[in-house]
Structures are given as C-alpha cells and as structure tokens.
A and B are shown apart, each in its own frame.
Chain A
Amino acid sequence: MERAHLLHLYTQMLLIRRFEERTAEMYALGKIGGFCHLYIGEEAVAVGAVDALRPDDYVFSAYRDHGHCLARGSDPKRVMAELFGRSTGLCKGKGGSMHLVDAERRFMGGYAIVGGHLPLAAGVAFAVKYRGGDQVVLCFFGEGAVPSGACHETLNLAALWGLPVLFLCENNRYGMGTPVERAVALYADVAQNAAAYGIEAGRVDGMEVLAVREAVGKALEQVRTRKRPYFLEAVTYRFLGHSMADPAHGHYRTKAEVDEAKKRDPLLLLRTRMLGERLATEADFKRIEQEVAQIVREAVEFADASPAPPVTALEDDVYA
C-alpha cells in the first residue's frame, strides 16, 4: 500500500480517536446527554473496512456508530452537532448518538436494538439484487448480537437468497459486562455461527488496520462477484467502558486486562510499522495530529454554535 493511503488510514483512525475523546469531554460538560457509546480502541475495524467500499455501497451500524459514520466520510461538524442534539446535525438532532444516518453517503444508520438492524441490511441487499445492481452492504454489529434470533434469521435468509451482505462482527469480547464466552456457544470461533448456514466465514485481527483492509477487501470481492454473503469476525477491544455510565474497568474486567489490550492500540501499531518501514516520519504524525485537532475543534465549535431544533420539530418526520 502506498504511503499516502497509509497516512490516510492513520488520519481517519486518529480523527475517530480524537473525536471520541472530545465527545467524552462534551458529555462531562453536559453538552451531550443520553446513552453514548464510544469507539476508542476499535478504530481499525471501521477504517479498514469502510476503506474497501465503493461510494455507492451501503453501510449499517449498531449504536456504537460514531466511528463508522466518520470513517464513511460524514462531516465531523454535523456528526458532533447530532450528538449535541442540534438542528444542524446529520438527522436534525433527532437521531442522536445511537442513530446517526447519512443517506447521501449511504450510511443507513445506527440502530440500538441489539441484532435488530441485521434484517434491514439484508433487505437493502435484497433490493440491490432485485434491481440487478452490483453494490454490496457492509453491516457492522457486536458479538453480543450473534446469538439473537434476528441474526440467525438474517443469516439464513441471506444464505438462502444469495444476498450481497458482508456481516462484520466486531468481537470486542464483551456485551456490556458479559464476556463472549458466557454469551455465544461457539465463542472460540464466532464466525462458525454463520458457517452453519453455509456462509463463507473468516476472522481477522481487528487491531491491525491493514489486516482488516485486506480481509474486508477480499471478502467484498467475493460478495460482489459471487453474490453471496460473507461473515467476518474482527477481533478487537474497547478501551473504555460500555457507555458513559460504565468505567473502563472494575467489576467485569481488570485494569491489567485493559492495559494489556492497549499495548496493541491500532494507532500505535500502524504508526510503529510506518516508522519502522520508513514510510513516515515523526513530523508526518505531528502534522496529522494538528490537522485532526483543528477538525475536531471546529466540529465542537460548530455544534455549540448551532441552534436546538424548534419544539415544533418534535412532530416533523413522524409521517411523510
């Protein structure tokens, strides 16, 4: 991969990292409320995967969706404004943290009923097939969704009808406080859940953005040409708590475990690699850091200066 492309991936991951850090600060200041789930630690999955898409492909996510939305190229200003609940937000302030949608970029949304968006992703793929198109649907979900009926019904339908969906399971090892081995019978190889339906399945190190990029690229190629679904498990880790209400460690996992995982911080891994291979210099990273800081600062300023939706907007868009 070329230097420019690698730097782009790094920039995207850093943007998500810094954006999420500022989001936490804004939450602490009371600028953002409600449920809010940060993506810190998992950036390589969104950035590597979305990088392999075409602009006319579709993306679905769950409620931990800021990273996927930013990776898809949504304007950070409008994403932050949405978190603030302002009328300039992507969804006019009515989606919020868990329901980001950017239809122009075919980012079809964040959904907060665990497993509930998988059938939607299959449905968009059904529409693609119905029209004879060659787009694909990339559907992110946590390993917590895997045992759900929605997931299994969808896998069956997608396999049965040959629907072009890449099911990308972000296995960050926990669903809130429940570790995967206490939730998924086939926890040691989560993708086996899909293999049972005859769906081709694989697994990738979700901390290595280049590995994700390559695995997703290959998987999408198959999905697109063979018109079959694919299930990819990306093994990752969330560095912070489940939501703003949950500390990074405590009852269900130890500080030592979190610290151990942070040694494989996706930003650190890419940076070390690029420096080692002399594809970038410290000066490059310093420059990127400044650029990203500027983008995030502007995003917060934009959100803060934006108006709240008028009360009358409450009833807008309930019906067409």
Chain B
Amino acid sequence: MKTTYREALNQALKEEMRRDDRVFLIGEDVAYYQGAFKVSKGFLEEFGSSRVVDTPITELGFTGLAIGAAMAGLRPVVEVMTFNFALLAMDQVVNNAAKIRYMSGGQLSVPIVIRGPGSAARQLGAQHSQSLEAWFCHVPGLKVVAPATPFDAKGLIKSAIRDENPVIFLEAQLLYPVQGEVGDDDYTIPLGVAEVKRPGTDVTLIAYSKMLLVALEAAGKLAQEGIQAEVIDPRTLRPLDLATLATSAKKTGKVVIVEEGSRRAIKFLSIWRLSTLSVSGRSAGQVFVIARSETTKQSHETKDEIAAFPVVARNDTIRHIRRIGGE
C-alpha cells in the first residue's frame, strides 16, 4: 500500500497504542490540534485525553515527567513540536533518561521515545532549522533513529516504542508528505541495522533521513554517466551498523557521506570512524562529507538555502561525487 511518511507514523503509533495500553502520546498540541504536523490525526477520538495528552509549552517539564512515567513502567511517546525545542529538555534527556539505568545499576529503566521533526525545512529561519543528531549521538545511553522512507518510519517507530532504552526518533518536516510503499502488517525493523538502498560498485554514498532522497537521486544521475554508486541508509545513527557500511566501503574504496548537519558535527557521528577502518590494505581514508556549509547555515533565503544544504540541484554536490566516484 502506498502512503505518506506522516500516515505511516500515524498508523504505526496507533497500532502500538492499540497493542499496549502502557503506550501514550504526550506533547504540545498532540490531542485537539492533532499534532503541529498532524501526525496524531484521529488519536484523541480513539484513545481519549488520558492517553493523548496535550501539555503546556514546557519541554523540560513534560519530557522529565514522561521520563518519570517510564521509570514507573509506562511507555511514553513524547512528541516535540520540533527538535529545536528539545534543547529546553536537554538536561532531562541527557542527565536523566540516558543515565538512570546506569546510575541505578540496572534497577530502573527508561523506555521512552522522543520524536518529532529534526532538521531544516523551507524558510524557517535560524532557530527552526537545526539538525542536532550529532548532539544526541554523543550521549551514551541514548539510541538515535532517523528514518527516510515511510516503510522504515513505520517499522522503526514500532521497534523504538518496544525498546527498553530511551530512543531519539528524528523525523523530517519535508518528509511528512513523501509517499512510499508501506506494509499493512505489524512489521518491525530492528534498531541498529543499516540497509543498502541501491547496490553499486564504484562509490559508497551514506545518507540518512531526507538526504537519502538526495543520494538516491544523485546515484540515478551518476548511473547515466556509468558510475555505479551504492547507497546505504544507516537508519539508526546510534548504535551505528558499521559492519554494513564497512563492507560497502571495502568494496568501493570510496565513501561519500551526505548529511544535513553542520560540517563539523559529522565528526561526532561515528560514521567518521569509517575513515579509520583499513580497507583491503589501504585505509578507507577517502571519506568525503557533503554537509551544511558553515557560513550560510540556517539562512532564511531560499536561494541561500540551496547553497547551504546538500541538494542535487546544486552542481557541486554531484560534481563532488562524480570526482570521488570516478577517480
């Protein structure tokens, strides 16, 4: 069945709430407004206000509250209206959610999902356009997931909800309307498993979330020029499926990472560790990163945005890959 990324999430969340009454949705405007991006459409009618909980605009407070509820055995799904606002809850996420299992010597557990759109969209200005995954990936105790397709979104959100660990689940505003094939059944996709989205032999493109679409488009164009790019979506950023990435890197000997975070942020993702892996005698050191430019980041102008973010329309994106892949 073809459906949107938004609808896939809606379905998966509903199915999980039907399956397990410990699961509840909490966040700003998730109930009556049906979510800022309408992911929770129809939830209030079906589950009622005790399980679809509208909060005041207090990210620290309600995220912390949800962590407490998880410690007491519930399975909260926190919707942050966008991840820019999750910064207000950072202390709760880092100091509590991520550490409580460890500090208690395994006595307590925090099975929580914190989800919402987590990257730039169009003309939203500097405060609403950040890609903060590298921050979250830096924290032991958190899992970080960033699906690109409706199919993956559905299977991964289910696994995230069923996971015993706190999971940061990054969606993307521009992906919500994107269509794709989604299974009707109750399938899950395990966290920490990458997928080869397009096989190839000449160069490895690693991309997650909406950059996967950019990478696939680039691979299509490159194929016309005789360069076979292998496109891999890690899907989960922590823990990272390095084995799958490394297998491809060994095969092609060249890796291009396409991501939306700032250029420096990528270094904190362990994807960077690929460059230290030895590939058939030589280092796989040819790891190139195409990322948000430092200077024009979070610009307000559309034409600047094209300059700032990796898009195929931008000639140098494809030129970069062509140069690396064709070498």
Contacts and interface: CB of A to CB of B under 8 A. Distances in A.
Contact of B56 (A102, A103, A160): A160
B206 to A, nearest CB: 23
Interface in B61-102: 61-74, 91-92, 95-96, 100-102
Contacts of B91: 113, 116, 150
B61 A150 contact: yes
B280 interface: no
Contacts of A116: 64, 91-92, 95-96
A188 interface: no
B98 to A, nearest CB: 9
Nearest to B76: A123
A126 B69 contact: yes
Interface residues of B, number: 40
Given A111-B96, A119-B92, A319-B141, A91 B68 contact: no
Contacts of B104: 91, 95, 99, 101, 103, 109, 317
Contact of A123 (B55, B66, B102, B105): B66
A84 B179 CA distance: 57
A283 interface: no
Nearest to A126: B69
B101 A150 contact: no
Nearest to A118: B64
B50 interface: yes
A101 B72 contact: no
A320 B164 contact: yes
A127 B72 contact: yes
Contacts of A128: 72
A127 B76 CA distance: 10
Interface string B89-131: 0011001100011111111110000000000000000000000
Given A120-B67, A160-B56, A91 B61 contact: no
A153 B58 contact: yes
A21 to B, nearest CB: 26
Contacts of B68: 119-127
Contacts of B24: 130
A36 to B, nearest CB: 16
A11 interface: no
B78 to A, nearest CB: 11
A101 B107 contact: yes
Contacts, number: 136
A111 B67 CA distance: 14
Contacts of A306: none
A90 interface: yes
B317 interface: no
A123 B72 contact: yes
A120 B58 CA distance: 14
Given A119-B61, A124-B72, A317 B67 contact: no
Interface string A167-202: 000000000000000000000000000000000000
B60 interface: yes
B108 A101 contact: yes
A29 interface: no
A156 B55 CA distance: 11
A318 interface: yes
B326 interface: no
Nearest to B95: A113
B236 to A, nearest CB: 12
B58 A101 contact: no
A108 interface: yes
Contact of A95 (B61, B72, B103): B103
A92 B105 contact: yes
A149 B102 CA distance: 26
B60 A91 contact: no
Interface string B127-165: 000000000000011010000000000000000000111
A119 B56 CA distance: 14
Nearest to B65: A123
Contact of A157 (B58, B92, B105, B106): B58
Contact of B74 (A113, A130, A316, A320): A130
B61 A317 contact: no
A154 interface: yes
B297 to A, nearest CB: 28
Interface string A267-281: 000000000000000
A101 B105 contact: yes
Given A318-B101, A320-B101, A320-B164, A122 B106 contact: no
B105 A149 contact: no
Contact of A119 (B50, B67, B72, B100): B67
Contacts of B102: 94, 317-318
Contacts of B163: 320
Interface in A100-143: 101-103, 108-109, 111, 113, 116-128, 130
A-B pairs, top 5 by smallest CB distance, nearest first, are A123-B68, A119-B64, A153-B61, A320-B164, A127-B72
7 contacts: A90-B105, A111-B96, A150-B61, A157-B55, A157-B65, A317-B101, A317-B106
Given A101-B105, A116-B92, A153-B60, 6 more contacts: A95-B103, A109-B104, A113-B96, A123-B69, A130-B24, A319-B143
